[in-house]
A and B are shown apart, each in its own frame.
Chain A
């Protein structure tokens, strides 16, 4: 009934994080680190399940790196 598409919201969230970390020397690492530190694994999984549609390329790369560095994918 709320009409909230929570996945779309996650897409928006990660893209917003990307926009705010673009000036980091390693934006992909910064985004990955941020998501790792503050997102629950289920949110990461939900986003992964959604695929790359609408995701900023940096976000896609960050999600990828997150899987490698932190084992979120294994979750």
Chain B
């Protein structure tokens, strides 16, 4: 694919029932009512000069280059702000217009540097193009007039520069920040000739301003005023490949713009159906890890974790790993082996790993990191609706009237979708947030929650039951929906249960820590406010009652009739890029792809026929059970693809003990991660830029990942898995990831119609894609639930075992922040680290005062599981009694503190509730010191093939 910028129709597309026909320069065109003359002209194949207009932003009308003449209208109206009407006759190219446009362009260029040839936007600049388009040849004003050529550049942002001398004050950056991102970090300061773009206040620069570095302003800038540093450093891209972001579950489509084998920039793709042309600081800018010096590209092995690593050939590494696994199977049985599928890898890679485990290792001991994030979603939604997935597409938010956000921090975790939520909120949708912490969605410029239920961590089920109580007892149930769509007996049982006085807001308020009238108000708003959509995240699932909470959410949606159409639904916001896909691909120990239980003989038969091996009909071990079994001496070898369980899983010391007890740990990853400290085989991994495959995002959207550069290690991850499989004696001969998808489609009814060819042609597909849904299903359960009747499940509030007491009086809850991603393996190796240099502990001023803490003090954070030290940040974002931290830095290791409590149904860890004590400290804990020493030792590499 070559490099051509994406077409820009000047103003956004409109949807309308009616159309109007008009004549533009003699060409007839019919457009939806409400379309601008500019867009109509572009659709007709014409090109009206423009600078302030772009089809990602509302029309603005400031540059005055797009003037046209319209029969019967006075003057020269701007085509960007004039709506097409029936029978209109438009002239876009007349000598009068040419003169006016040249007059405007002459003004622009009288205040613009003339350094086009050495400008970073040379040949990629709308001002340059437009000057050529209007035929500017002479600037009669000369160049000695008042100007802005001496304005100093702002290079404070790590990824892009702001050069005001090149600014044409079109406000596209400001409007992008407002309309697209919703941060409002930019403004025009001053007025008239002195108007200039300003980030934040006068003394701010971009870095110190409210800017979240989403890149929307850079994408919107028509000149080199806002330009990526990489473009300045590397040069204009030469080719571009459309691919899918590998960070969060939003699944943004990007144009990877390349120069040779080098990424120059990642530009959000306007046709991306998940992101609609938007991006965040991670996907847009934080791709530098792909070429970071820490990347390991040569396989390594060692006999014991006390030894240094030895670099070896791929053959040696693979045969060593295979022989070890064969030895373990022979000595301890197949069930002593297992594997972990990463939710970061592609569907195809995940599918192959579970296939290797089931068909090659001969066990169902396979699990995925979805275990520790969204396994309760799979369980809960399957039980109630019949499908382990969210019900809506992201576009659905545009029709939502009341958003209920529970246990999700979308502005940090799912920023691109959060921007769409915020846009809808600015349009007037109501918002209820259930979160112990005052996240940015609760209140930030131009949005404010109608209710923020700052519950005590661990009481989600109590809150949802109280809301349900109000809905049932106040007659707010959507009775028609329930009657037509749900099982009646179960509904009655549920209604009776929640209507019990013990579940009233008044009774539960002391447990929840939220005033009863707020619970009642929120319930009434959700039930009566129109289309109600529930968005949730790991603050729902990562609890001892994670699965119950998911079911309680489903109950609430059904009771209020909020399922099966646009604007409503139950929407899990998936943490990682391919959590949905990893689950779909049969990565759980009890399920084959498409959520079919291993005990299902028909499903098993299908796989056995395709793979030619028997499949164990009994569930295998989940990750925590594997680690338990390891400490019991029963589990000896594990193949971990792309997951750093030591840092990401709870109760680090237990994970370490489990890993240390194994005889062969194979880690396949980009970097020597924390888990690799306990590994015997290290197989270099490849980034999403280096391979082909598919990711499935939170809206069940299957999207292509396309190789934009050759793998640094020589192989795509699935090829490494195949090599291991072949060494284990399996006869695999995939030559391209598309063949793996073909196999998935053959074996998985919900994927029956999926193929790379179709994805290439259609951009993306939302499963199920099969005979019943040939084009996929943006919204599920439209005419009925997948399971038949919707199932109400009684969800009794069972308090977690984790209780505060004199020793551990505070509750710790954990989460992530915008600039960092998960364990930080990627983002810490980019400039994103500048926004978050270390994990800090948020603590309420009163709790801080009680402990004599000042902002920035070192504190010791201790639970019954372990302790660590980090700096305190005093803030009223958290309630008294609650502390909060992130888990992005291995030096902090927040998970040393988290416990082995987990969801009753899925064993998803209870990251969100840990009883802790916080005390002043003056340095790292002993565990941190020991860990650092062990970590350094474990990362030694013998200099056999020193670089």
Least CB distance, A27 to chain B, in whole angstroms? 11
- Return the CB mask of A1-39 against B: 1 if under 8 Å, else 0: 110101001001100110110111000000000101111
Cβ contact within 8 Å between B904 and A17: yes
Q: Which B residues touch A75, using CB under 8 A?
A: 618
CA distance A1 to B930 in the complex (A): 15
A68 at the interface (CB under 8 A from B): no
Residue ID in chain A nearest B547 by CB atoms: A20
Interface residues of B in 332-381 (CB under 8 A from A): 335, 364-365
Whether A41 touches B618, Cβ cut-off 8 Å, given contacts A17-B904, A20-B905, is yes
**Do A2 and B657 touch across chains, with their CB atoms under 8 A apart?**
yes
If the complex has contacts A19-B798, A22-B796, A37-B619, are A43 and B625 also in contact, measured as CB distance less than 8 A?
yes
Q: How far is the CB of B549 from chain A (nearest CB, A)?
A: 11
Which of chain A's residues have a CB closer than 8 A to the CB of B796? Answer: 19-20, 22-23
CB distance from B905 to the nearest CB of A (A): 7
Is there an interface contact between B619 and A38, defined as CB atoms closer than 8 Å? yes
Query: Main SS of the interface on chain B?
Result: loop
- A4-B654, A6-B632, A9-B628 known; A40 and B589 CB under 8 Å? yes
Please tell me if B629 contacts chain A, counting CB pairs below 8 Å.
yes
Q: Are A23 and B589 touching (Cβ within 8 A)?
A: no
B350, chain A: closest CB distance, angstroms: 20
B621 an interface residue at 8 Å Cβ cutoff?
yes
In the assembled complex, the CB of B462 is this many whole angstroms from the nearest CB of chain A, namely 14
A42 part of interface (Cβ distance < 8 Å): yes
Interface residues of B in 611-659 (CB under 8 A from A): 618-622, 625, 628-629, 631-632, 634, 653-654, 656-658
A19 to B629, CA, bound (A): 25
Cβ–Cβ contact B900 & A9, under 8 A: yes
| B621→A40 contact, CB < 8 A | yes
Task: Tell me if A23 and B545 are in contact (CB < 8 A).
Answer: no
Given known contacts A6-B631, A17-B905, is B497 in contact with A40 (CB within 8 Å)? no
Q: In angstroms, how far is the closest chain B Cβ from the Cβ of A21?
A: 8
**CB within 8 Å for A16 and B544 given contacts A42-B634, A43-B625:** yes
Closest to B799 in A: A19
**Is there an interface contact between B335 and A42, defined as CB atoms closer than 8 Å?**
yes
Closest to B364 in A: A40
Bound together, the chains give a CA A69 to CA B904 distance in angstroms of 22
B384 at the interface (CB under 8 A from A): no
In the complex, what residue of chain A is closest to B497 when comparing beta carbons?
A23
Bound form: Cα–Cα A40–B337 in Å: 13
- Whether the Cβ atoms of A40 and B905 lie closer than 8 Å is no
Expressed in whole angstroms, the minimum distance between the Cβ of A64 and any Cβ of chain B is 19
Contact indicator A2/B619 (Cβ below 8 Å): no
Give the CA-CA distance A40 to B544 in the complex, in Å: 20
Q: Is A20 within 8 A of B634, CB to CB?
A: no
In whole angstroms, how far apart are the Cα atoms of A20 and B798 in the complex? 7
Q: CB of B548 within 8 A of chain A?
A: yes
Q: Does B820 contact A (CB under 8 A)?
A: no
- Contact partners of B906 in chain A: CB under 8 A: 38
CA distance A2 to B654 in the complex (A): 6
Would A19 and B621 count as touching, CB distance under 8 A? no
Q: Mark B147-181, 1 if CB is under 8 A from A, else 0.
A: 00000000000000000000000000000000000
Q: Which B residues are in CB contact (< 8 Å) with A12?
A: 801
Chain A CB within 8 A of B196 CB:
no
**Contact of A34 with B618 at beta-carbon distance under 8 Å, contacts A2-B657, A6-B631, A20-B798 already known:** no
State the CA gap A40–B653 with chains docked (Å). 24
Residues of A within 8 A of B618 (CB): 40-41, 75
The answer to whether the Cβ of B469 comes within 8 Å of any Cβ in the partner chain is no
Evaluate whether A38 and B620 lie within 8 angstroms (CB atoms) in the complex, with A1-B657, A4-B657 already known: no
CB of A34 within 8 A of CB of B905, answer: yes
A9 to B365, CA, bound (A): 19
Q: How far is the CB of B680 from chain A (nearest CB, A)?
A: 19
Minimum CB distance partner of B379 in chain A: A38
CB-CB < 8 A to B654: which residues of A?
2, 4
Question: A13: which B residues are within 8 A, CB to CB?
Answer: 902, 904, 907
Quick check: B590 and A4 within 8 Å, CB to CB? no
Q: Are A2 and B364 in contact (CB under 8 A)?
A: no
Contact A37 B657 (CB under 8 A): no
Which residues of chain A in 38-68 are interfacial with respect to chain B, using CB atoms and an 8 Å cutoff? 38-43
Interface 0/1 of B532-559, CB less than 8 Å to A: 0000000000001101100000000000
Asked whether B631 lies within 8 Å of A40 as measured between CB atoms, the reply is: no
| Chain B residue nearest to A7 in the complex (CB) | B632
Task: Please list the residues of chain B having a beta carbon within 8 angstroms of any beta carbon in chain A.
Answer: 335, 364-365, 497, 544-545, 547-548, 589-590, 597, 599, 618-622, 625, 628-629, 631-632, 634, 653-654, 656-658, 660, 794, 796, 798, 801, 900, 902, 904-907
A/B interface sample: 30 pairs, CB < 8 A: A1-B660, A2-B653, A2-B654, A2-B656, A2-B657, A4-B628, A4-B654, A4-B657, A4-B900, A6-B628, A6-B632, A13-B902, A16-B904, A19-B796, A19-B904, A20-B545, A20-B798, A23-B497, A23-B794, A34-B905, A36-B599, A37-B590, A37-B619, A40-B335, A40-B364, A40-B621, A42-B335, A43-B621, A43-B625, A75-B618
Query: Which 7 A-B pairs have CB atoms at the shortest separation, nearest pair first?
Result: A2-B657, A23-B794, A6-B628, A16-B904, A20-B904, A19-B798, A41-B618
